[in-house]
């Protein structure tokens, strides 16, 4: 099997921290370079402080470590991005251009680029949103991701750079804290339940959004990157679906285990963002092209989230 040297940008983020560990297990501790502006406490493996908006720093790392694949996860997310739109655009796009150019110049074999359901606007079919829907996003994060999808398709078509991408729904995991996304209520709510604290939700009770459990998100990423190139028919970004639910539904799922858990709804600016996004996603292209199929539903995810977070907070108390 061909040796891979993998660089992960944004490796301390919600997705990056988990994906890095999976890649380390799969390819070896010394074959994965984690990079970010800060380092996780107790991190095991190879780590470099890289500002991915710095072309020279990125290129130096790629050459020094003989990188063959890049997972480019560094980005400013939806809710945080609205606080400083121009900076969000600059960071998200400059970092992507640097990754694409370094990859083109130095013959990187594969690049992974995460997109998001934030690329959709409110003029799409919101139930079962099709792969080829119009992209008129309502946030600068979504605008940057929609633009990025076209750029990665351009680099594949013009230069033959093998870039692959997933439009992630909201990702829910126990491994890290929320990181500024509109769907992050569905992470924070589990932390509050386990700590036996009331939860104030920034979305309305009936706001249905597509979500995916972290284990499914990681598996989808690995499966896409391992798929034969000839099976990849989408070179912008694949729709991928896990499950869809509302804040009220996740509350009731938790309430089965924590009968005294309380929730209040106090919608803020993130409600308008959520209202512009799909309620559910049609991921038939991913299922057909590389065999995608989610394994987790809401109640199964809740059971695991509660179990893992209980262990986490008990360990802190000890």
CA 89 to chain centre: 17
Q: Is 296 helix (H, G, I), strand (E, B) or coil?
A: coil
168 noted as active-site residue? no
Q: Can you read off the two tokens belonging to residue 92?
A: 């998200």
Q: Active site residue: 71, 113, 141, 296, which one?
A: 141
Closest CA to 142 of 203, 208, 206, 85: 85
Strand (E) or helix (H) holding 7: strand 6-9
Instruction: Locate the DSSP E strands across the chain.
Output: 6-9, 32-36, 46-49, 69-72, 110-116, 163-168, 170-172, 199-201, 209-213, 238-239, 243-245, 263-265
Beta bridge partners of 210: 244
Active site residues per annotation:
141
């Amino acid at each position: 099997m061909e040796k891979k040297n993998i660089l992960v940008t944004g490796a301390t983020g919600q997705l990056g921290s988990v994906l890095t560990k999976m890649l380390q297990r799969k390819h070896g501790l010394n074959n994965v370079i984690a990079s970010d502006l800060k380092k996780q406490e107790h991190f095991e493996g190879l780590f470099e402080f890289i500002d991915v908006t710095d072309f020279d720093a990125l290129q130096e790392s790629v050459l020094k470590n003989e990188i063959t694949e890049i997972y480019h996860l560094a980005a400013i997310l939806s809710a945080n991005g609205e606080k400083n739109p121009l900076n969000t655009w600059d960071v998200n796009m400059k970092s992507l251009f640097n990754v694409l150019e370094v990859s083109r110049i130095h013959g990187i074999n594969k690049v992974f680029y995460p997109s998001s359901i934030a690329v959709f606007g409110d003029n799409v079919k919101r139930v079962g949103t099709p792969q080829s829907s119009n992209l008129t996003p309502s946030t600068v994060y979504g605008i940057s991701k929609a633009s990025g999808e076209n750029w990665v398709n351009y680099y594949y078509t013009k230069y033959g750079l093998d870039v692959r991408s997933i439009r992630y729904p909201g990702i829910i995991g126990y491994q890290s804290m929320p990181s500024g996304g509109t769907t992050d209520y569905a992470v924070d709510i589990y932390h509050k339940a386990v700590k036996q604290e009331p939860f104030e939700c920034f979305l309305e009770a009936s706001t249905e959004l597509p979500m995916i459990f972290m284990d499914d998100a990681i598996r989808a990423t690995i499966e896409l990157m391992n798929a034969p190139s000839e099976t990849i028919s989408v070179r912008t970004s694949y729709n991928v679906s896990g499950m869809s639910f509302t804040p009220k539904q996740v509350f009731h799922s938790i309430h089965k285990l924590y009968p005294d858990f309380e929730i209040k709804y106090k919608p803020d600016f993130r409600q308008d963002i959520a209202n512009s996004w799909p309620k559910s996603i049609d991921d038939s292209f991913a299922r057909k092209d590389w065999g995608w199929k989610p394994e987790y539903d809401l109640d199964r995810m809740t059971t695991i989230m509660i179990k893992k977070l209980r262990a986490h907070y008990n360990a802190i108390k000890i």
